[in-house]
Amino acid sequence: MVSEEYQKAVIIAQSKLAAAGVEKELDSGTQNGEVQEKYSWSVNVQAINLDVMGLDEADVIPYQVTVTVEWQAGENNRQLELTTIKLSQE
């Protein structure tokens, strides 16, 4: 049962990562929601400051996109987190 729930959480997280920057333009902030009244998800998008990294500004802006999926498995709270970097044109 836990492995099934984990697989569903992975699918939800991957779907939210894939949608970031496609359904709407990337912008710093957080979105939340629920799937199947069991899984809660949040997508956190943060622009990465290239100056802090000692890099010159480019024609693209990198964003760190983190998706967190949480669910209840019996008496235990479960959580899965996936993070990636996505690029957006200025």
Question: Given the DSSP bridges, would you call strands 29-35 and 39-47 parallel, antiparallel or unpaired?
Answer: antiparallel
pLDDT in tens, 43-57: 999 998 876 655 566
| Portion of the chain with pLDDT greater than 70, in percent | 88
Question: Given the DSSP bridges, would you call strands 39-47 and 60-73 parallel, antiparallel or unpaired?
Answer: antiparallel
What residue spans define the domains of the chain?
2-89
pTM equals 0.86
Give me 85's structure tokens: 């970097």
